[in-house]
Amino acid sequence: MKLTPLASDSMGARSMAFLVETKDCGILIDPGVRLGEIRYGLPPHGIEIERRAELWGRIEKAAGKADIATISHYHFDHHEPNRPDILWGKRLLVKDPRNNINRSQRQRAADFLKILGGRPSSVETADGKTFEIGKTALTFSGAVPHGTDARLGYVLELAISEGEEVFVHTSDVEGPSLDEQADFIVGQDPSVLACDGPMTYMMHSYGEGALERSVGNLARVIGRTKVKDLILDHHFLRDLKWREKVPGVFEAAEAHGCRVRTFATFAGEEDDLLEARRKALFRECP
């Protein structure tokens, strides 16, 4: 199994796009990338705009290696309605567009599926289902809350297995702050976990309780699964001091021989938290 992070907050823009290649198929996960519209009262810097274009180029290139594409939910950093052609001929597995979905995402889903037309070879709802392609299995969670509750809707977690190798992609669990989000991960027993970490850059709305639960759940995942690479990113990497916020996770990882990484470092790159550095970008390059 070959795992390739394509775009993420640690790489300079909002995304959790990933390419997974097995002997049976290529799987493009959440092919979208966007910029935070306002941060520190500032719009995206020119460097961020250039980076987004670069990361989208990576996604486009990776799409050529994929037979299957998956969409965990309908926020624009996880799907791209303006570039539907990357999905030509692909089997598209999507979050149910009608059930367990909030109003804004229901409308976005309807618009997106209309735009797609006949480009994908098929479009199938994936909630709670398993799809087998040769010796590769894609197992989706049921709909779990986007973050600490369902105000922002629901997302699908995804486990891809090939033999003894298991990769789990959590989508926007923001933690995972809820037991039901963590239970899916533990049940799949991943060797590599790409996880949306706690939303510590907005503690006023996220809350200390959610952070404590997230640290506990991540420690539980580390202790009860075979995970050796814990890839934390997305909401978490909008905080320049992210490493300082979860000492319990690093302690559990060290105790169990698990590496804590980001999309960028897993890909062999350096972290480049452009959104978190936006204030400095405007100061250094007005």
pLDDT at 252: 98
Dig out the tokens for 21 from the structure.
Answer: 């290649």
Dig out the tokens for 204 from the structure.
Answer: 């006023």
Q: What CA–CA distance (Å, rounded) separates 173 from 195?
A: 8
User: Cβ–Cβ contacts within 10 Å for residue 82, how many?
Assistant: 7
Domains and CATH numbers, the chain: 2-278 (3.60.15.10)
How do the pLDDT tens digits run along the chain, 286 residues long? Answer: 999 999 999 999 999 999 999 999 999 999 999 999 999 999 999 999 999 999 999 999 999 999 999 999 999 999 999 999 999 999 999 999 999 999 999 999 999 999 999 999 999 999 999 999 999 999 999 999 999 999 899 999 999 999 999 999 999 999 999 999 999 999 999 999 999 999 999 999 999 999 999 999 999 999 999 999 999 999 999 999 999 999 999 999 999 999 999 999 999 999 999 999 999 999 999 8
pLDDT at 286: 87
Q: What CA–CA distance (Å, rounded) separates 257 from 245?
A: 20
- Among 114, 158, 167, 122, which Cα is nearest to 139's? 158
pLDDT at 58: 99
pLDDT at 34: 99
Q: What CA–CA distance (Å, rounded) separates 57 from 70?
A: 18
Cβ burial of 101 (10 Å; 0-12, 13-18, 19+) is: buried
- Among 138, 127, 146, which Cα is nearest to 168's? 138
Tell me the pairing of strands 154-155 and 158-162.
Answer: unpaired
Instruction: Collect contacts of 238-244 with beta carbons under 8 A, ≥24 apart.
Output: 238/9, 238/36, 238/39, 238/199, 238/201, 238/273, 238/275, 238/276, 239/200, 239/201, 239/276, 240/273, 240/276, 240/277, 241/200, 242/197, 242/200
